[in-house]
Amino acid sequence: MLRKLAFTGIKSRLRDYLVLFTGLVISSGVFYMFEALATNPLFLKSSTNGMGVASFIFQFGSVLLTVISLVYIFYANSFLLSMRQHDYGIFMMLGAKPSKIGHLILTETLVIGLISSVVGVILGCILTASLGSYLMQNILQNDIASFQAVYLPAILITLGLYLVLFVIAGLINRRKLTKTPILELLKKDSQPNRPQLKPIGQIIQVVLGVLSLAIGYYVMVNFLKFRELGIPIALVTIVLGSYFLFNAVFVWLVVLLKKSKWAQRGVNNFTLSQLGFRIRNYTKILATVSILFALALGAITVGMGFGKDMELYTQETSAYTMGIKDPSRAVKKKVADLDTEKKVSYVQKQRGNTVYYLKDEFNKIPFQKTDNKWLKEVAKGKNVNISYKNYDGNKLQKDPSALYSYQQDLENEVKVVSADEFKKIQAPRQEFYLFRVKDIKHNKSDLDQIVKTAYPENYQKMRTEIPGEYSSYLSALEIFGGFEFMGFFLGIAFLAMLASCLMFKILSGANSDRHRYEMLNKLGVRRKALRRSISREIMVLYVLPGILGIVHVLFGLQLFKTLLLAPYRGIWLPFLIFIVLYLIYYLITVKLYEQIVLPDVKIDK
């Protein structure tokens, strides 16, 4: 009977539980996708650099997602507990034993966890089949015909991990609830936590908050000085700084606004009172949401930054797309069909471990190397074209180091000699054919065919060893493309979790707020004014952590200056995408809150 009543209560709050399911399903779905890609042998064997790089990237994403999911699940279960604690209190008041209630809590938590995890795995299979295929074909540019989106080991890992997390959360909820007095369970949500303005304490917290954030931001800007200590120092100081600022500034702001003339207009005083009713509890969740906001926005921004820098990095490595020794007519014909910027041939001879080039050929057609001056312009956020330096025969004869990276055997010695010396060398003449395409991404499949034609017997080996930017591009596809893909979906998962946490906190107090809105309705307050009050109240709770989260990201991008050419270049796009998604969550929260608190019956005015 008790179990029947409990599940009837869950059914009556199904709308609220859907909020919980959203974050849990997205979290487990993205986790499964990462695991399927990180452990699937068909995907890893196709990787240019073998299993190491691809596996590390997606396993790293899985670990990071697990850590954040752990925090999220505890918040989600706290929300469940707060929603159901009144019902549990009634059951205990009617004579239910604490042990029975504890067993019921654990059962409900595991059922919710199992359902959300199973649905998340199904979503993950769909994401892996669709977006996993997109990842391989468009980002990694690698098509695997027999890739398995439904991969049993990844399913077992996902279900096992999330069930363990829910068991831990359920046991904590069980102990917490059974130790709480019945009267506290029945009245806890209705107990106000009103702010009291204590100037000295508030000023101390503001100073500590600003100082902590300043230390965290300084460490991120000067990350190379602190090295391995940088991340833990920044993390601790920014978390503390966020909490102190919200606990001091938010409380202060509410109290001061209530004393202003603005508070006396319309229902503004009511809106401020609503914010102040549970203000101390909100400061903790807002500080947490600001950190999650920064992680989510930062993941998307950095991921897209890797995608933008991928081609620039590969172009910087070499002035030529590919260098082929003694190309056949078939190879040259395929190169002729490409959209090339430059094609050049040089004669060479190899005797032992020494490769000789003819000086006069470089005087006629100078050898080119990328000029690193353009990197400074890119770092400033400017869009520039790659520039090249010309090396004639005289320069290369004095210093042939520019030619070393174009030798298949890097241990070979390179010499540039005169025509007379070149004739004396007893070795067959060879043609070294170099070309540069305008867009390596657009021509990638054609370049693959050229390597297959030139080296049919050892294609897999030569595609990673052939001189030029082509082999660098293949490696960058896995590293940069993998981080781009991972960053985007980590950002989406973090966004779903942070928005759900905030929605939980707001909606968990909605039932106790209902009678206040009913009272205003009876007093003649227009429904439009009530809706405006709700939208403003919730907007404050979304905007404040969002602003602080954006500041965290702007400083946090300094951590990636050693990995990205220009971390701030084009950041408006990921910021815009994220803010639009964040706005959607805000609108959903407002709508759900209105459906709970606004009276069904409109009082005639």
pLDDT in tens, 159-187: 888 888 888 877 877 777 767 666 565 56
Local structure of residue 458 (DSSP, 8 states): S
Tens digits of residue pLDDT in 94-103: 676 767 777 7
pLDDT at 54 over 80: no
**Res. 366 pLDDT band, cuts 50 70 90:** very high
pLDDT value for 8: 64
Contact 242, 287 (CB under 8 A): yes
pLDDT above 90 as % of the chain: 8
Return d(Cα 102, Cα 175) in angstroms, integer.
7
pLDDT value for 519: 81
Higher pLDDT, 524 or 509: 524
Average pLDDT score over residue span 370-386? 66
Tens digits of residue pLDDT in 440-456: 888 888 998 999 898 88
589 CB-side CA count, 13 A: 30
**Res. 49 pLDDT band, cuts 50 70 90:** very low
Return d(Cα 554, Cα 592) in angstroms, integer.
32
Higher pLDDT, 375 or 564: 564
Average pLDDT score over residue span 210-236? 85
Q: Which residues contact 97 (CB under 8 A, 6 or more apart)?
A: none
389 CB-side CA count, 13 A: 12
Average pLDDT score over residue span 306-322? 79
Return d(Cα 307, Cα 300) in angstroms, integer.
11
**Res. 14 pLDDT band, cuts 50 70 90:** low
pLDDT value for 51: 41
Higher pLDDT, 137 or 220: 220
Mean pLDDT over the full length of the chain: 78
pLDDT at 300 over 50: yes
pLDDT at 316 over 80: no
Return d(Cα 600, Cα 329) in angstroms, integer.
81
